């Protein structure tokens, strides 16, 4: 089993990705970073099923999943915007959409790192 947790502060997302038993795919969950604590190394996420600002947590296991799914060896993926089950997706301008695009690209890059024998096939 290979497991990775990445915090991409520049795009305000964290991701947990796992590959079990050399499967030809990875599963992932992405979380939106909504702020930082008094200590800059403290990262805050929306609490699962949050209802407003202030509903935050410092741990991924209690955080609202923003996007989840899997990426296969051949580059095919299945993704669900879990955040839409809680509230509509909201973007404060073009830069937020660009961050989402960067997140999707980085998910593929991390999947290729975790499945190096298939990296050339993931296109």
pLDDT at 86: 80
- 3-state class (DSSP) for residue 56: strand
Strand pairing of 56-57 and 67-72?
A: unpaired
Q: What would the pLDDT profile of 33-45 be if each residue is shown by its tens digit? A: 999 988 878 999 9
Tell me the pLDDT band of 53, cut-offs 50, 70 and 90.
confident
CB atoms within 10 A of CB 121: 13
CB atoms within 10 A of CB 3: 11
Q: What would the pLDDT profile of 70-112 be if each residue is shown by its tens digit? A: 999 999 999 999 998 887 888 889 999 999 999 999 999 999 9
How confident is the prediction for the chain on average, in pLDDT?
A: 93
The ranges assigned to domains in the chain are 2-118
Which neighbouring-strand residues pair with 46?
56
Residue 51 has pLDDT above 90, yes or no: no
pLDDT at 89: 87
Which neighbouring-strand residues pair with 73?
none
pTM of the model: 0.93
């Amino acid at each position: 089993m290979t497991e990775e947790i990445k915090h991409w502060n520049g795009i305000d997302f964290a991701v947990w990705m796992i590959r079990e038993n050399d499967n030809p795919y990875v599963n992932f969950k992405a979380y939106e970073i909504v702020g930082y604590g008094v200590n800059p190394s403290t990262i805050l996420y929306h609490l699962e099923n949050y209802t407003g600002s202030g509903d935050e947590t410092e741990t991924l296991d209690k955080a609202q999943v923003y996007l989840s799914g899997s990426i296969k060896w051949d580059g095919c993926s299945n993704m669900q915007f879990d955040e839409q089950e809680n509230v509509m997706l909201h973007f404060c301008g073009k830069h937020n959409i660009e961050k989402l695009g960067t997140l999707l690209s980085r998910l593929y890059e991390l999947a290729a790192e975790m499945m190096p024998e298939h990296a050339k096939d993931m296109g």
